[in-house]
Each structure stands twice: as structure tokens, then as C-alpha cells.
Structure 1
Amino acid sequence: MALPHNAHVSAHPCLRAKLSQLRSSSTNARDTKALIHEIATIVSVEALAKALDEKEAGSDTSPLGYSFPVSSISPSHVSLVPILRSGLSMTDAVLSLLPDPVPVHHLGLYREKTTLQPVEYYNNLPYHGPSAAHPTTAPGPSDLAIVVDPVIATGATACAAVDTLRDWGVKRVLVLSVLGSEEGVARVAESWPEGVSVWVGGVDKETDGHGMIKPGLGDVGDRLFLTLGK
């Protein structure tokens, strides 16, 4: 299956090796967390290199007294949107790469077991921007929202997140994931072709009858938080 032009799969050899380690059923929760962080870092470096531009932001002075131009990123109004629970495992990797702190807006979504459709149970996007009466209210929609979720299986959850962010008014959405299915990644990329870019560490061909990727990573949230067999 040919992926859309706005879907990108990493070919980094270190990432491929780490993904194999992450797939193993013998990988414990501590190593699972570390591997997701490391893979998310590689994916984020590749994605942000394309999603962001450099801009000059004045000048500063070095310890030797020489003046130099200060670089910043464009767009500067960026937010990070982890999908609970497992998206939390990718948050630190992205934050460590961005030159300045950015708002983190959590979205809680789960898949209903029978229909496999997403259900939103938590949303802390700041829908109310600043006004004359409340000048300190949270700023309006981001120019770029970065959605993080380790697995894109059917794509329904990521699509729901994109729809929510579009309703909020973001200009562009960057979706970062460790692993996706071909169909799921394509579905997310096609949900808003002019506004969405999807970057994943790897792609598997299909999902099973329960909406899980084959061979996949299993339930990443359960693996991270030791809630297997619930």
C-alpha cells in the first residue's frame, strides 16, 4: 500500500533496531518506557526538521564579548498534545528538543471495545482566548499542534484528535507515533491532507479483529503502567 505524501516512515537504522527490541514480549516496563522515549526522540528530530523553520530573534553576546545573531523557531506558537495514557511516554522526548517550553494540552480518548470508535473522556484545550475583560486568559489556538501517541492502529483515535484540534482552530497538526498500520497511518494523513503531517517510526501491514496491529507492540499503555490482564 502506497502511503500518502504527507505520511513519513523513518528509515533510521538505530530506530529500526530499537523497534525490534520494543516489540519483544520479554521487554519489561522500564525498558519499554526507555525505548519509546528513544524512538520518539529520533522520530521527533526528523519530523521537526521539516515542520519548523529557523528565524532570527535579535542578538546576544558570547562569554568573550562577541555579538552573535540569536536563532529561534517558526512558528513560535506551538503546543504539544499527548493522547492519554500512552502518549505521556513520548512527551519528554519532544519537549527536550524544542528550544523553549510549550503548553501541553492533554486529550483523553479510548476505543469502545465493540465498535472500535474513539470516545473522548478528557479535554483540557484552552478554548477561551484572551479578551479585554480577561487579558491573562490562555492564548488562542496554536499555529502548530504536535499530537503524540505511540500507536496508530485503525487511525480512529488520531483522526478524532485531529478533528478536535481543527475545531479548536489550529493551523497545522503534526502527528508523531512509534508504530502504525498502513491503513491507520493513511487514514490519519488523508483526514486533512493540507494540514496534517504524520511521522512514524515504523509501519506494519494490518490489524487483527480487535483493532490491534500485527505483529505490533501490544497495548502500550498496559505495558508502560503494568496493567496487563485487567
Structure 2
Amino acid sequence: MMTQLPAFAASPIVLDHPLIQHKLTHLRKAETSTAGFRRLVRELSLLMCYEATRDLPLEKVEITTPLEPTTGMQLAGPDVCFISILRAGNGLLDGMLDLVPFAPVGHIGLYRDPNTLEAVEYYLKLPTQIASRRCVVVDPMLATGHSAAAALTRLKQEGAKRLLFVCLLSTPQGIACLKEQHPDVPVITCAIDPTLDEHGYIRPGLGDAGDRLFSTK
């Protein structure tokens, strides 16, 4: 895995840890059940959160162990929040909140117009102090990049200054879209799949992440 999360990243950070790649392979399988899919997404999100929060600031704190006083390190203030792109982004929240249970959570609702493939916003609810927080934006798929770019643009309009985009799968097209529109936003992904089909689905991909998470069609 990566050793340091850069403040600026023109290229995506691809997490190639063996556990991540193993779980991603099972996530892709058509025969994986809804329960199994949810479990794997949760496990992957926990591992991804570990990397996404690698450079959170720390401060010294004086504590007492059962044996003696000592100095430890703790997170320096309420620095991070998670922003889910509805609806599939919610599948990534559970594992991340397992690691950072005190983090505020925001939601941005976007759907993809089936004809233009452009993102249309229908919901927005964000934590307070978004301008001073590290905003980890989560969505399982970075396909065309239109939804992710629209979400990041909207968050910047609301005052967000430190943004990070985290996804399970991405494509060269989606990465290029974010690089063009938001070159200041690092991208963390588990894999870069080679192409999109005519419907905007990632190939080979894993199907529709939202449908597989919530057992819908």
C-alpha cells in the first residue's frame, strides 16, 4: 500500500495490497450473494479508509497506563468527515465508520441521466465546518467521472477545500475527467478497469454496485 497520501495527485493511487485484491476478485463474481457483496464492500472500505486517513494530523496527549504515566498520540481535533454519493456510496460508509466512528457524514444525491450520462443533483446534506475538514468522498464506481466531478464541484461551492475521492473501481475515462476538472483532488481506487460500454458501465467491472448492495434491479 501507499506510504504517504499526497496533498496533490495527478495520478490515482491504486491499492494493490493482497487482501484488497483478493476481496475485490470475490466482489466481482456474479455468483456472490447480496449478503456476501455487502460484507466484502464493508471489509474493503475498512482497508481503504486505513489508507485514506494515513496522514491525518496527530497531537501529543498525556495518559496513564495501568503501570505509569506516559505520552501518547491522538487525532488532532475533528478533522475528517465522510461524504457519500447516494445511493451506492452508503455501502462504503460502514467500514469507514468502524475505524472513525466520530466522523460526521454528509450525503449528496446524484443520478445519471440515461441519455446524456450527465449527473443530476436531487439531494444535499452536509456536516458543519466543512471548510475546515478533510472531506473523504465515497462512491464505489468511477465510470465516466461525471457524477464524481459534479459532486466535487458542488462540495467546493459549499466551501470544501480538502477533498479526497475514494472508489472501488475506476476507468481511464473517469480518472481523466477528474484530472481535468479537479486536479487538486487525489483519487484512491482498488483497480483501474480498461473500458466503459455504450451504457456507461465499467468493464469487466462488477455490475451495478447499488443494485448488488441493495438487491434491486
Cα distance change of structure 1 residues 204 and 123 upon mapping to structure 2, 3 Å threshold? same
Aligned to 1:177: 167
Is this contact kept in 1: 2:62–2:70, CA < 8 A? yes
In structure 2, distance between residues paired with 1:44 and 1:159: 21
In structure 1, distance between residues paired with 2:151 and 2:132: 14
Deviation of 1:47 after TM superposition, in Å, equals: 2.4
Q: Which moved more, 1:85-94 or 1:139-148?
A: 139-148
In structure 2, distance between residues paired with 1:103 and 1:6: 28
Please list the CA deviations of residues 2-23 of structure 1 after superposition, one character each: whole Å capped at 9, or x if unmatched: xx63411111112112111111
Deviation of 1:187 after TM superposition, in Å, equals: 2.0
In structure 2, distance between residues paired with 1:140 and 1:52: 16
Cα distance change of structure 1 residues 158 and 74 upon mapping to structure 2, 3 Å threshold? farther
Give, as a single letter, the amino acid of the residue that structure 2 aligns with 1:61: T
Please list the CA deviations of residues 52-108 of structure 1 after superposition, one character each: whole Å capped at 9, or x if unmatched: 23322x3121122x222242235732211011111111102112222x601111111
Question: Within 5 Å, which residues of 2 pair with 1:73-222?
Answer: 73-74=75-76, 76-98=78-100, 101-125=102-126, 138-194=128-184, 196-222=185-211
Is 1:35 aligned with 2:40? yes
Give, as a single letter, the amino acid of the residue that structure 1 aligns with 2:214: F
Stretches of structure 2 lacking an aligned partner (at least 5 in a row): 1-8
Is this contact kept in 1: 2:42–2:92, CA < 8 A? yes
2:56 corresponds to which of 47, 52, 74? 52
Q: Which moved more, 1:151-160 or 1:73-82?
A: 73-82
**Identity among equivalent pairs (%):** 37
In structure 1, distance between residues paired with 2:158 and 2:16: 33
Give, as a single letter, the amino acid of the residue that structure 1 aligns with 2:31: S
Alignment RMSD:
1.8
Aligned to 1:132: none
Aligned to 2:21: 16
In structure 1, distance between residues paired with 2:210 and 2:158: 27
Deviation of 1:28 after TM superposition, in Å, equals: 1.0
Is this contact kept in 1: 2:145–2:175, CA < 8 A? yes
Please list the CA deviations of residues 114-148 of structure 1 after superposition, one character each: whole Å capped at 9, or x if unmatched: 0000011110125xxxxxxxxxxx44534210111
Stretches of structure 1 lacking an aligned partner (at least 5 in a row): 127-137
Is this contact kept in 2: 1:116–1:211, CA < 8 A? yes
For residue 105 of structure 1, give the secondary structure of its aligned residue in structure 2: strand
Cα distance change of structure 1 residues 80 and 142 upon mapping to structure 2, 3 Å threshold? farther
Deviation of 1:206 after TM superposition, in Å, equals: 1.0
**Residue correspondences, number:** 209
Q: Which moved more, 1:140-149 or 1:87-96?
A: 140-149
For residue 85 of structure 2, give the secondary structure of its aligned residue in structure 1: strand
For residue 135 of structure 2, give the secondary structure of its aligned residue in structure 1: strand
TM-score (norm 1): 0.84
Deviation of 1:209 after TM superposition, in Å, equals: 0.7
Is this contact kept in 2: 1:182–1:205, CA < 8 A? yes
TM-score (norm 2): 0.89
